[in-house]
Each structure stands twice: as structure tokens, then as C-alpha cells.
Structure 1
Amino acid sequence: MKQIILPFILFLFIFQSGVAQASLTLTPNPVETSGVADPNDIFIEIIGYATLKNEGTETISIKWERVEVDLPQGWESLVCDLNSCYEPPVYSNIANNIGINEPVTLAPGESTNLDVHAVPKGIAGTAEIRLDVSLLSDPDNVLLSGTYTFDASLVSSSKDINKARLNVFPNPATDYVEVQAPQNISRLVIYNVIGRQMRAFNVAPGSRYYVGDLPSGLYLASLANRKGEILKTFRLSKRSMRP
């Protein structure tokens, strides 16, 4: 009897471990993106967008840790999740030595953006960043790793410069967003993840655009010129203001 029970228990243990490991998905993975490095604008970012989803049946709290596998000297990197966009020195959302304790809590079926921003600081090159994801309850057990690669080339035209400087911020947003647009941007359009238009704004210098009544979640924010041509689309994370 023991010869039957012990293998069965072992099978259940392996099966449950496999389920736990498969309860999170990161899409896409790997993330490959490219952009420009402008020596005259050291704040230009190249952003690798990804979505982390809880595929399990229980609410979980997530820890991520950023590992700079290969980063050119002078570059910086940072991570954005559902809670915040963190400054480059923040290597993890759970880091007692720097006073960070911001777990990402996901109910079954919920998702968070898990984006990596590379800041070339005007230096051409390539970079690789890895994000290791674990449960807050078992932080040393990495459930999955996401690989983000970046390729920055020096700007070759004014068109490259203008496109690179387009931005929608803050991201994540709570009540308002603003647009950084050095060229003829006339419209900001926000879509949900299935492509339904949720908001549309006429863009004017110095203006802010109210998104506080949108449900928390992920959106796409597109910037269009006067001809209606979409010049750039961003992943925008909307979150509710904490009480």
C-alpha cells in the first residue's frame, strides 16, 4: 500500500508545484524594442512594454527584482508597474534597504503592466534587463523571468528626434495626464485594451487631460497630428488614488 501512496503523493506535489509556476504569465517575453539616443536630449526613454497576469485562482502579492544583465556605461533603467514608475535606484518593489515595500496585488485574472524603461542618455548601444518575479510569501523562489532588450541608435534626422520626444505622463496616471509634444500633435485618444475609444482630447500647449473617471487598468494612448495620422502609441496605466 505504501508503495502506491508514496508515488501518488509525490505526483501531487510535482503537479501542484507546476500549477504554482504556471499561475503567472508575462506577455510578451522576451521584449525587444529599439529607439534613438539623442545627445541633445538625455531624457529620451526607450520603453519595453509587458503585461503580467495572474492566471491562478487565488489573490497573490508579487515581488519583482530588476537585474541589469548588460547596460552600457552612462545608461539608466527603471521599472513601472501598476503601483508606480520607480526611480533608477529602485531595483525592486520590495527592498527594505532602500525603504521600498510596494507589492503588486493581483486577484485571479487581474493584470499589471511590468514595463522597463531604458534611458540611453544620448549614448548609442544595446542593453539587456531581466525582471525576476516571485511571490511576496516566497520571495527567493523565482516563478518567472522576463527578458527586455533595447537597441538605441543615434538620431539621424529631425523626424527621429520629434518622434522620440513624444510622451504622455505621468504613467501610471490617477486624475490627469499631460502630453509632451514638440511637433504638430493635435489629438490625444485613449483606447481600452480591446480597441474601444474611451476618451479623445484636443491637444493644446500646457493643458492637462482628465482621466480620473476611467476604471483602473491598462489603456492605449495615441497621439495624432493634424492630418489624423497616429505618430506614437503608449501603454498607459490608470490607477485609483489611494485613500
Structure 2
Amino acid sequence: MGRSLQIVCLFCLFIFSYDKVSAQSINNIGQNPTELVADDLKVFPNPTTDYIQISNSTNIKKVVIYNMFGKEVKSYFHYANALHDVSEIKAGMYIVKMLDEKNKVVKSVKLNKTYSGV
């Protein structure tokens, strides 16, 4: 029997075997309410030109947008149903991180910012 390596992350478990090429992913280990809320968070519209909104965001207190190099481009204090202006951000791909009251990242998503024509 081959040796195996287990790596546990927040939402998954990967099992690698040294004897044969295989990988297994087991999702939703020990679901808790925070995980379920994170699954419901959506950033829309995406792609966008002028603004973003976050659905089901009652636990989100801050939204931070990073470029693909990891540099912070914009941040907002968040409240339910808030519209966040992204019209001044250049067209491109970005990462939107949603943080809770403890500044813990609840969810990260890719955002496609398109040219607004202004």
C-alpha cells in the first residue's frame, strides 16, 4: 500500500497517493453557517462597467478590489444592498474580496471590468 498525503483546507480535503497518479476532492467537510453564507454570495453584474452589488451580504462589512498583481485598487465599507462604484477602475480582470466584521475573508470572486465608454 502506498503512502498518502492529506492536505486539509477550509472547504475541502485532497488525498494524494505516491504509488499511482490520483487525486480526490471531498467538498463541504463540516459545513457551518459561514460556509453556507459564502456559497450564497454573488457579485453582480459581472462583467460590469459602472458598479457592483453583492447579493445575500448581511455578514459582509468590507469589500476590497485587487488587480491581478495583488495590489489593492479600491475598498468600500459595505452595507446591505449597497452599490459600489467601479467606473473609475480600468477595464480588466480583478479579484473582489468580501470581509466580515473581523476582517476575515468570507469569499473571493473574479470580476471582469469592461470599458464604460467614458
TM-score for the superposition, normalised by structure 1? 0.35
Q: Deviations over 1:91-129 (max 9, x none)?
A: xxxxxxxxxxxxxxxxxxxxxxxxxxxxxxxxxxxxxxx
How far 1:223 moved relative to its partner? Answer: 0.2
Offset of 1:160 from its aligned partner? 2.7
Counterparts of 1:168-207 in structure 2, within 5 Å, are 168-207=43-82
Structure 1 residue 167, shift from structure 2 partner: 1.7
Alignment partner, residue 41 of structure 2: 166
* Alignment-mate amino acid for residue 60 of structure 2: I
**What CA distance in whole angstroms lies between the structure 2 residues aligned with 1:152 and 1:174?**
34
- Cα drift, residue 156 of structure 1: 4.2
Verify the 8 A CA contact 1:186 1:202 in the aligned structure 2. yes
TM-score, scaled to structure 2: 0.69
Cα distance in 2 for residues equivalent to 1:238 and 1:205:
22
Q: Distance in 2 between matches of 1:209 and 1:173?
A: 11
Q: Which AA in structure 2 matches 1:189?
A: V
Kindly indicate whether residue 115 of structure 2 is the aligned counterpart of residue 240 of structure 1: yes
The structure carrying a bigger helix percent of its residues is: 1
User: What is the aligned counterpart of 1:231 among 82, 106, 112?
Assistant: 106
Structure 2 gaps, min length 5: 1-10, 12-25
Contact 2:55–2:81 under 8 Å retained in 1:
no
Equivalent-residue separation in structure 1 for 2:78 and 2:105 (angstroms): 13
Change (3 A) 1:242 1:152: farther
Q: After TM superposition, give the deviation of residue 179 of structure 1 in Å.
A: 1.1
For residues 210-229 of structure 1, the aligned pairs below 5 Å read: 210-229=85-104
What's the counterpart of residue 90 of structure 1?
A: none
Instruction: Quote the offset at 1:195 in angstroms.
Output: 0.7
What is the SS of the residue equivalent to 2:99? Answer: strand
Percent of pairs with identical residues: 25
Matches within 5 A, 1:32-51: none
Gaps of 5+ in 1: 1-34, 36-150
Name the aligned partner's letter for residue 109 of structure 2: F
From the superposition, tell whether residues 183 and 204 of structure 1 become closer, same or farther in structure 2 (CA, over 3 Å): closer
